[in-house]
Amino acid sequence: MKKRLFTPGPTPVPENVMLRMAAPIIHHRNPEFMEILTRVHADLKYLFQTTQPVVVLSCSGTGGMEAAVSSLFCSGDKVITINAGKFGERWGQLVRIFTGNCVEEKVEWGSAIQPERMAELLKENPDAKGVCLTHSETSTGTAADIQTLCSLIREQSDALILVDGITAVGAHEFRFDEWGADICITGSQKGLMMPPGLALVAISERAQDIINHKNGIPQYYFSLKKALKAHAGEDTPFTPAVSLVIGLDEALQMIKAEGMENIWTRHERLASACRQGCNALGMKLFSNSPSFAVTPVWLPEGVDWSAFNKALKNKNGITIAAGQDEYKGKIFRISHLGFYDELDMLTVIGGIERALKDINFNFQVGAGVTAVQKAFLEN
Amino acid sequence: MKKRLFTPGPTPVPENVMLRMAAPIIHHRNPEFMEILTRVHADLKYLFQTTQPVVVLSCSGTGGMEAAVSSLFCSGDKVITINAGKFGERWGQLVRIFTGNCVEEKVEWGSAIQPERMAELLKENPDAKGVCLTHSETSTGTAADIQTLCSLIREQSDALILVDGITAVGAHEFRFDEWGADICITGSQKGLMMPPGLALVAISERAQDIINHKNGIPQYYFSLKKALKAHAGEDTPFTPAVSLVIGLDEALQMIKAEGMENIWTRHERLASACRQGCNALGMKLFSNSPSFAVTPVWLPEGVDWSAFNKALKNKNGITIAAGQDEYKGKIFRISHLGFYDELDMLTVIGGIERALKDINFNFQVGAGVTAVQKAFLEN
């Protein structure tokens, strides 16, 4: 059976990227690899829309988040974190462990932090040294208005702005320099269309300054000071995941050829068509501020997640994501982050129709795929 | 030009491993991947000769060392480290950062710590909570007698034994359970014949006990407590480097098919032939306790490293490793760790002859390759 992945990481890897990674391994001190890493460093700046360094760490996205928290803050530093889902919660866990002083703002799943509330938080905590945000919260398929939040935080305070862009970079418009973020992290297995194993961290000038002059939390592998020093010599502080860096080079060429604006527009269109397809099948959307990376949908009443998922996976070869934590069995999530096009949305909604039919859910056959077609062809 | 890698990591990756990693990506929560990870967990026990868990971390080998130090010790814990080269030095850096109480024993490059000196160190430091050893020190191509050291430490003290097996596992005999080590680490790009990006950490029962009951140094991504908990459910705490884990599964099948004893013997034979080849060319060996993973050789008087290396790399496609730190330009290192056979030793010594000829070094053409042939065929 043909298999199709619609999960928010790992996301599908293009054939040319897979084949590039399958070439004989080269040594990381070899001029050939150093040329690749130099190009990757340059192209990552384009991805994040920055002139500042973007360092490559060999770890998952979480490692990138830890690197930021443990490199920027000292023990006792007050940091505000926004918990609107599983990954916002992770910011809080990291801050509690590494600084021990976390002001965690909980936001209902499916909603994003509102700028008004952010302004209040800053007023209540004028001594906050940082604010940790999530651009696209994967667990809830919800996007925050990072541009507005960044500009508001910059106006009101000196707090550093850390953005988890793990499932946003490459899906949502994001301009690191212009918007004034201090840290933005993404992972290779997301918008970058790569297997997991690399975290990419963009670092602002003022963040670099702090990183280079601070003696703070004990750290070694995740020291952004070490990473910045190595970056300046087009190097990495420890043996990098060579094959993944080579694949990243290939993926970044595809991204440059398509262009960031076009990529953002594509994701917006895919997400919109996906939502319209789900609506047309009588299903309710979960988020009131939907992400362009992943669409979360309430399981219709009477539909059992396990039966639905089995029909989708075993009979149609399609893998989507379940709900997480308390939303397990209540919502499902369709990803369209990375290497997807308009016909892929027809496929996933068509597959969902087939699975719904299989479990005897009552809906109008063809309504979903027609909505998808209309979304693309009549707009 | 055909390219041949003789560096101690990355080491060559077999074609079947490369192709297995080039297959379409699967999700890490997919039953197909969980089956692979379960098998990898089981086969890693065979690799380390242990019945205890071996956890898979997505990072370089250094990340595995950090995970061990930060998971086992508390701030202030005294730990003895043996610095007989660049990687033994790293143990010291990690201990100083994470516990702040390091007793570092420096050993001349090219030599290994002697059991008598180890016994003295333990007597001088009866309060040591751990001892950090390096099985095969990559920077000096020197192997320590880990079996004797482990048994001596176990007899004399309660200190935990941490073994950096990064370039030893799969080259040197190593029996985790029988020898009584508490931690052993390797990296994917070494004896495992894989690209870099994974660290594998074996954990003894008493180490597990400490890890699970200690509240120590702030850590998150490198928490072995989290890794052990996930391992118990055949899982990883964070998104693993999926494609590398799949490649590891393939590599471990090759290792099982060959058998650990055969692999150890093969490496011993390759190393011995390599040394005899170098000797026959009039070159002096650097180490007085040579590793089976990498052979360090003094550059003959009058031979310039850069000219020699250029002749080797640019005209013969062969990459070997330079000396590190103060031995840069003074020694070179030939690796035979991982996916190498007897004809490969003929190739590398033959290539070295060609390069020496090219730079007008005076030697008997054919002496090196003859010595290699004799080493294999007349023993």
Which pLDDT tens digit goes with each residue over A269-322?
999 999 999 999 999 999 999 999 999 999 999 999 999 999 999 999 999 999
Range of the domain at A118: 15-258
**Dihedral sign from CA coordinates of B80, B173, B236, B63:** positive
Chain B residues touching residue A241 (CB < 8 angstroms): 60, 195-197, 241, 244
Chain A nearest C-alpha distance from B18 (Å): 5
Touching A: B residues 214-243, CB under 8 Å:
217-222, 238-243
Helices assigned H by DSSP within A140-182: 146-156, 176-179
Helix (H, G, I), strand (E, B) or coil at B355: helix
Mean of per-residue pLDDT scores for chain A: 97
Task: Give the Cα separation of A64 and A221 in Å (integer).
Answer: 11
Same domain (yes/no): B338, B220: no
For A241, the closest of B7, B23, B241 (CB atoms) is B241
Same domain (yes/no): B198, B286: no
Chain B residues touching residue A239 (CB < 8 angstroms): 9-10, 60-62, 187, 189, 196
Element (H, E) at A82: strand A79-83
Q: How many CB atoms lie within 10 A of CB A360?
A: 9
Please write the tens of the pLDDT for every residue from A125-182: 999 999 999 999 999 999 999 999 999 999 999 999 999 999 999 999 999 999 999 9
List the one residue out of A342, A348, A339, A345 whose CA is nearest residue A16.
A339
The percentage of residues in chain B with a pLDDT greater than 90, rounded to a whole number, is: 98
Tell me the CB-side half-sphere exposure of residue B122, using CA atoms within 13 A: 23
Same domain (yes/no): B288, B249: no
Q: How many CB atoms lie within 10 A of CB B205?
A: 11
Chain B nearest C-alpha distance from A115 (Å): 30
Helix (H, G, I), strand (E, B) or coil at B319: strand
Chain B residues touching residue A93 (CB < 8 angstroms): 220
Please write the tens of the pLDDT for every residue from B74-129: 999 999 999 999 999 999 999 999 999 999 999 999 999 999 999 999 999 999 99
CB of B195 within 8 A of CB of A25?
yes
CB pair distance less than 8 Å for B244 and A197: yes
Same domain (yes/no): A282, A187: no
Q: Is it the case that residue A215 has pLDDT exceeding 90?
A: no
Task: Give the Cα separation of B272 and B290 in Å (integer).
Answer: 9
Same domain (yes/no): B323, B309: yes
Q: Which tokens in the block code for residue A209?
A: 């300054």
Chain B nearest C-alpha distance from A215 (Å): 11
The answer to whether the annotation marks B333 as part of a ligand binding site is yes
Q: For residue A216, name the pLDDT band (cuts at 50, 70, 90).
A: confident
Using a 10 angstrom Cβ sphere, with 0-12 exposed, 13-18 middle and 19 or more buried, the burial of residue A2 is exposed
Q: How many CB atoms lie within 10 A of CB B220?
A: 22
Task: Give the Cα separation of B54 and B75 in Å (integer).
Answer: 25
Chain B residues touching residue A19 (CB < 8 angstroms): 22
Domain boundary among A214, A234, A258: A258
> What pLDDT is attached to residue B304?
96
Sheet of A54-58, strands arranged across: A54-58, A198-203, A183-187, A160-164, A130-134, A79-83, A102-106
Same domain (yes/no): B298, B224: no
CATH number at residue B283: 3.90.1150.10
Mean of per-residue pLDDT scores for chain B: 97
List the one residue out of A262, A211, A227, A264 whose CA is nearest residue A72.
A211
Task: Find the mean pLDDT for residues B19-27.
Answer: 93
Same domain (yes/no): B246, B274: no
For chain A, give percent helix, strand, coil, nearest 5: 45, 15, 40
Task: Give the Cα separation of B161 and B154 in Å (integer).
Answer: 8
What are the residues whose beta carbons fall under 8 Å from the beta carbon of B43, sequence distance 6 or more?
A: B249, B252, B253, B255, B256
> What pLDDT is attached to residue B216?
82
CB pair distance less than 8 Å for A25 and B221: no
What are the residues whose beta carbons fall under 8 Å from the beta carbon of B158, sequence distance 6 or more?
A: none
Domain boundary among A215, A241, A258: A258
B103 inside 8 A of chain A by CB = no
Same domain (yes/no): A224, A289: no
Residues in a beta bridge with B185: B164, B201
Q: What pairing do the DSSP bridges indicate for beta strands A79-83 and A102-106?
A: parallel
CB pair distance less than 8 Å for B220 and A62: yes
Q: Is it the case that residue B290 has pLDDT exceeding 90?
A: yes
Same domain (yes/no): B214, B231: yes
Q: Is it the case that residue B9 has pLDDT exceeding 90?
A: no
B62 inside 8 A of chain A by CB = yes
CB pair distance less than 8 Å for B30 and A220: no
Mutation for testing the B interface, residue in A11, A17, A27 having most B CBs under 10 Å: A27
The percentage of residues in chain B with a pLDDT greater than 70, rounded to a whole number, is: 100
In this prediction the ipTM stands at: 0.92
Q: How many CB atoms lie within 10 A of CB B81?
A: 26
DSSP state letter for B315: H
CB pair distance less than 8 Å for A98 and B195: no
Please write the tens of the pLDDT for every residue from A343-361: 999 999 999 999 999 999 9
Chain A nearest C-alpha distance from B273 (Å): 24
Residue of chain A minimizing CA distance to B236? A60
Task: Give the Cα separation of A58 and B198 in Å (integer).
Answer: 9
Task: Write the DSSP assignment of B174-221 as a string of letters.
Answer: --HHHHT-SEEEEETTTTT---S-EEEEEE-HHHHHHHHH---S--ST
Same domain (yes/no): B264, B236: no
Touching B: A residues 10-39, CB under 8 Å:
10-13, 18-19, 21-28, 30
Sheet of B198-203, strands arranged across: B54-58, B198-203, B183-187, B160-164, B130-134, B79-83, B102-106
Domain boundary among A213, A228, A258: A258
Same domain (yes/no): B29, B166: yes
CATH number at residue A144: 3.40.640.10
**Dihedral sign from CA coordinates of A139, A142, A143, A145:** negative
CB pair distance less than 8 Å for A98 and B23: no
Chain B residues touching residue A240 (CB < 8 angstroms): 60, 196
Overall domain count for chain A:
2
Residue of chain B minimizing CA distance to A220? B94
Same domain (yes/no): A110, A170: yes
User: How large is the greatest C-alpha to C-alpha distance in chain A, in angstroms?
Assistant: 63
Residue of chain A minimizing CA distance to B67? A221
Q: Is it the case that residue B215 has pLDDT exceeding 90?
A: no
Chain B residues touching residue A62 (CB < 8 angstroms): 220-221, 238-239
A189 inside 8 A of chain B by CB = yes
What are the residues whose beta carbons fall under 8 Å from the beta carbon of A150, sequence distance 6 or more?
A: A161, A163, A179, A180, A181
Task: Give the Cα separation of A71 and A352 in Å (integer).
Answer: 44
Task: Give the Cα separation of A293 and A189 in Å (integer).
Answer: 13
CB pair distance less than 8 Å for A5 and B27: yes
Q: What pairing do the DSSP bridges indicate for beta strands B318-319 and A294-298?
A: unpaired
Q: How many CB atoms lie within 10 A of CB B234?
A: 15
